[in-house]
């Protein structure tokens, strides 16, 4: 599925302030490698129902075993192994005896200590992998089956099997330390890094499983269709601690959602919630909704956080136009798109913005290969658009009681005509400050 950098930023999948990102919200990884694998998973939405379903089965199975996941493998364990291969040590005896090992331990004490420490962590690592093999033994995920088979094959070495049979807490003899250390270092390096890579991927998918369980996400049903559709019940924004949920349905007959409401009323949050929901669905992840049924999309494009470009001498409005032009060019390919536009044409005067907005909406609404969600502060254009049966009109309700703004964040049918700018200015004390100048 095509998603450009602008859309990733608009939806905050990744963010320069990481704590504000969806990535951070879903990150329960235990290792540095798992963290990077999770970043890789979230940066590459999938483009086939088969691959999405397999990821769903992977995460679903990991949810069932997450409480039994071995804690013996930690980020420290992996770092010790990686450091062991990067740190030079004095050559080990080819066939260490008690005498050879005794002298090596005395005359190469730092290297012996490093080897012993690394071997102990390696034993813990392979024992943890042995437990994981048992946990993922019976599952429907093709990916988990492949990882299980590969782990079993890599652990099928006599030295490894000897390590796995060692009793917990058994103190290693100097001969065992050097024998195991030489094998790990000289005969199992490539295999070690492959096992670390597999574990990192498992760590990343376990993180998504943990997120699904913690936040009560549900797996969506994705269908291959000629035209796009989106149907969700109790959809909410993933990053809100006490979110308000929405129910929304867009399809071939009604594929355009025209959204109005006061500033801070919830328009941007709703648009992002829908975009993130569709994005996570195409990762194979559970989604923040009690139910979601949607088509397989070919791409998501957003126009939410447009900015001017001083270096290029491009105004805010000019960049809005460029983004709309780019969007029209891309979605003219006949593929299935989700288009998210927040506050169309903020960068020009009202009269010009009304004319431009009506022109753009009347053009976009003709395209049945895309679903459009568009918010605007130009409530006036709503009347002109009511003649088009494929446009739905929704607004976020705002109430005023004793000069206080009350936001319900509930999505209502119709067009808002709230004019609250002056009230907000007054409420924040700006009017009073200006009067005293």
What's the pLDDT tens digit per position in 151-173?
999 999 999 999 999 998 889 99
Q: Which of 215, 243, 274 is the last residue of a domain?
A: 215
Parent domain of 180:
31-215
Q: What is the pLDDT of residues 7-61, one digit of tens each?
A: 999 999 998 889 899 999 999 999 999 999 999 999 999 999 999 999 999 999 9
For residue 311, give the 3-state DSSP assignment: coil
Confirm whether 93 is domain-assigned: yes
Q: How high is the pLDDT of residue 41?
A: 98
Whether 359 and 372 have beta carbons less than 8 Å apart is answered as: no
Confirm whether 235 is domain-assigned: yes
Confirm whether 320 is domain-assigned: yes
The answer on 111 and 48 residing in a single domain is: yes
Q: Which residue has the higher pLDDT, 315 or 107?
A: 107
DSSP letters for 146-205: HHHHHHHHHT-SHHHHHHHHSPTTPPPPHHHHHHHHHHHHHHSHHHHHHHHHHHHHHHHH
Which is nearest to 343 in space by CA: 315, 319, 320, 367? 320
DSSP letters for 391-410: EEEEEEEEEEETTEEEEEEE
- HSE-CB at 324 with a 13 A cutoff on CA atoms is 19
SS3 content of the chain, % helix, strand, coil (to 5): 50, 15, 35
What is d(CA 306, CA 268) in angstroms, rounded to the nearest whole number?
A: 13
Number of separate domains in the chain? 2
For residue 287, give the 3-state DSSP assignment: strand
Least confident of 70-84, 89-103, 400-414: 400-414
Confirm whether 112 is domain-assigned: yes
Residue 309 has pLDDT above 60, yes or no: no
The answer on 286 and 412 residing in a single domain is: yes
pTM (whole model) above 0.85: yes
Residues 127-141, mean pLDDT to the nearest whole number: 95
The answer on 236 and 177 residing in a single domain is: no
Residues 268-278, mean pLDDT to the nearest whole number: 96
Q: How high is the pLDDT of residue 208?
A: 98
The answer on 143 and 265 residing in a single domain is: no
The answer on 226 and 139 residing in a single domain is: no
Q: How high is the pLDDT of residue 313?
A: 40
Q: How high is the pLDDT of residue 420?
A: 64
Q: How high is the pLDDT of residue 403?
A: 66
What is d(CA 45, CA 222) in angstroms, rounded to the nearest whole number?
A: 14
Residue 419 has pLDDT above 70, yes or no: no
Q: How confident is the model at residue 379 (pLDDT cuts 50, 70, 90)?
A: confident
Please report, for the domain that includes residue 332, its CATH number. 3.40.50.300
Q: Which of 182, 215, 248 is the last residue of a domain?
A: 215
Structural element, H or E, at residue 412: strand 404-413
Residue entry with tokens 């409005």:
317
The answer on 309 and 245 residing in a single domain is: yes
Residue entry with tokens 């990535």:
23
């Amino acid at each position: 599925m095509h998603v450009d950098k602008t859309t990733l930023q608009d939806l905050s999948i990744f963010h320069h302030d990481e704590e504000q990102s969806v990535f951070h919200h879903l990150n329960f990884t235990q290792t540095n490698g798992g963290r990077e694998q999770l970043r890789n998973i979230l940066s590459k939405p999938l483009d086939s129902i088969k691959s999405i379903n397999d990821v769903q089965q992977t995460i679903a199975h990991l949810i069932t075993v997450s409480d039994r996941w071995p804690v013996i493998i930690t980020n420290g364990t992996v770092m010790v192994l990686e450091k062991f291969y990067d740190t030079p040590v004095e050559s080990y005896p080819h066939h260490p005896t008690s005498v050879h090992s005794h002298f090596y331990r005395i005359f190469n004490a730092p290297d012996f200590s490093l080897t012993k420490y690394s071997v102990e962590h390696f034993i813990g690592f392979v024992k943890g992998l042995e437990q994981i093999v048992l946990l993922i033994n019976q599952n429907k995920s093709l990916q988990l089956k492949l990882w299980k088979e590969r782990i079993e094959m890599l652990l099928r070495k006599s030295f490894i099997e000897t390590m796995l049979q060692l009793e917990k807490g058994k103190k290693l003899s100097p001969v065992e330390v050097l024998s195991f250390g030489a094998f790990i270092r000289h005969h199992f390096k490539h295999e070690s890094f492959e096992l670390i890579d597999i574990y990192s991927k498992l760590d990343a998918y376990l993180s998504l499983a943990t997120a699904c369980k913690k936040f009560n996400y549900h797996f969506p049903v994705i269908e291959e269709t000629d035209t796009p559709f989106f149907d969700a019940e109790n959809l909410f924004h993933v990053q809100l601690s006490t979110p308000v949920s929405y129910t929304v349905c867009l399809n071939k007959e009604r594929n355009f959602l025209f959204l109005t409401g006061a500033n801070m009323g919830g328009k941007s949050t709703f648009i992002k919630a829908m975009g993130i929901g569709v994005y996570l669905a195409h990762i194979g992840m559970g989604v923040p909704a009690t139910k979601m049924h949607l088509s397989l999309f070919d791409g998501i494009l957003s126009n939410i956080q447009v900015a001017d470009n001083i270096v290029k001498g491009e105004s805010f409005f000019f960049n809005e136009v460029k983004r709309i032009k780019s969007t029209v060019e891309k979605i003219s390919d006949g593929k299935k798109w989700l288009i998210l536009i927040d506050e169309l044409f903020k960068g020009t005067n009202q009269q010009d913005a009304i004319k431009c907005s009506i022109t753009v909406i009347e053009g976009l609404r003709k395209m049945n290969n895309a679903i459009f969600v568009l918010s605007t502060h130009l409530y006036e254009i709503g009347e002109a658009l009511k003649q088009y049966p494929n446009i739905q009109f929704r607004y976020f309700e705002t109430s005023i009681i004793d000069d206080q703004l009350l936001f319900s964040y509930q999505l209502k049918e119709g067009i808002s005509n709230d004019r609250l700018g002056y009230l907000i200015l007054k409420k924040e004390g700006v009017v009073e400050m200006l009067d005293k100048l």
